[in-house]
Amino acid sequence: MDFSSNGSEENQLYHAQIHLYKHIYGFINSMALKSAVELGIADAIQNHGKPMTLTELASSLKLHPSKVSVLYRLLRLLTHNGFFAKTTLMSGKEGEEETIYSLTPPSMLLISGKSTCLSPFVTGTVHPCRLNIWYSSTKWLTEEKELSLFESARGETFWDYLNKDTESDELSMFQEAMAADSQIFNLALKECNHVFEGLKSIVDVGGGRGGFTKLIHEAFPDLKCTVFDQPQVVANLSGDENLKFVGGDMFESIPSADAVLLKWILHDWNDDLSLKILKNCKTAISGKGKTGKVIIIDISIDETSDNHETNELKLDFDFMMMTLLNGKEREKKEWEKLIFDAGFSSYKITPICGFKSLIEVYP
């Protein structure tokens, strides 16, 4: 952000005010997106099979006629933010203009029923249980305890909250969101076949309900895959000969395999706990000697080379991990320290899926 630009003092002040206001009102973008998901705007356009006018959309969404102007303004904001595209046509009737709205690549990620639907990510992230904690941030920032904001505000960890009731909407929503995120990796899997070459077995630690492991299992049917997660997460899940679900605690021990996969795991935990997990991973692959490996999929922050949008997203993720779980997104030098402290001898970082990294770690 460059505020040192030429121009009068007044202009700099106006520019600064715009910048400040834009951040104050940033939550409106999230909430507008939430409203679009709740209304099912992307589904309506998709089901219609072609772009829709405002009137067609309002009727399909069963909005009260008094809310058509609200829908117009919601679409105007969301179109500005890249979620829909609008085209103005001459309708033929006395030369009147007609605007039609169509989907864009980001709103295609909000179509229900598609394996890449990220709507649960939207609803989960702006759920009141995650937003209300921010009203306790002063208490959190001034107290001595090393708790996440979530735990400080609610008196329970995010995991305890999710697991309180295995049938709760939150646990399902969370696992659904993770599964959709994993589907996006399907595209990346093709690029990283070499990562799985020569392996006979792999254990996906914290693998949830197996969304990602199932993709690996499809791509490499001879590879023995184990999804390892908390007992309540994998309860009642069954696989086949080469896909097993095992319940346990990664802080205690991890089933043995040629490779261990940690996708979206280490960013949930602070360095001490991440070290514990990595050491257990090292023990789990010890049977494979020097050719075993740990495959980490997580964010690697690089403020010097990332573009502004990607970097902002990574820093947002870091803040979310810190406040929700006391976890963190790591810079390259932090990854290196963690990996070497856990007793590994080398590693290789490859960017993957736009903003994530694949980190191969060797004993």
Ligand X SMILES: C[S@@+](CC[C@H](N)C(=O)[O-])C[C@H]1O[C@@H](n2cnc3c(N)ncnc32)[C@H](O)[C@@H]1O
Residues in contact with ligand X by CB under 6 A are 159, 178, 182, 206-208, 211-212, 229-230, 233, 249-251, 263-265, 268
Judging by beta carbons within 10 Å of its beta carbon (0-12, 13-18, 19+), is residue 66 exposed, middle or buried? exposed
Minimum distance of ligand X from residue 154's CB (angstroms):
17
Minimum distance of ligand X from residue 239's CB (angstroms):
16
Nearer to ligand X, 264 or 335 (CB): 264
Nearer to ligand X, 84 or 335 (CB): 335
d(C-alpha 169, C-alpha 116), whole Å: 20
Nearest CA among 46, 149, 165 for reference residue 107: 46
- Residue 15 catalytic? no
Residue nearest ligand X by beta-carbon distance: 206
What long-range pairs does 226-234 form, CB within 8 A, spacing at least 24?
A: 226/201, 226/202, 226/255, 226/257, 227/203, 228/203, 228/204, 228/254, 228/255, 229/205, 230/163, 232/163, 232/166, 233/171, 233/175, 233/208, 233/209, 234/209, 234/210
Q: Specify whether the CB–CB gap between 31 and 81 falls below 8 A.
A: no
Nearer to ligand X, 51 or 206 (CB): 206
Minimum distance of ligand X from residue 268's CB (angstroms):
6
Alpha-carbon distances, residue 317 vs 65, 105, 304 (angstroms) = 39, 22, 18
- Among candidate residues 23, 64, 80, 267, the one labeled active-site is 267
Minimum distance of ligand X from residue 83's CB (angstroms):
24
Minimum distance of ligand X from residue 257's CB (angstroms):
15
Helices (H) and strands (E) in the chain, counts: 18, 12
Catalytic site residues? 267
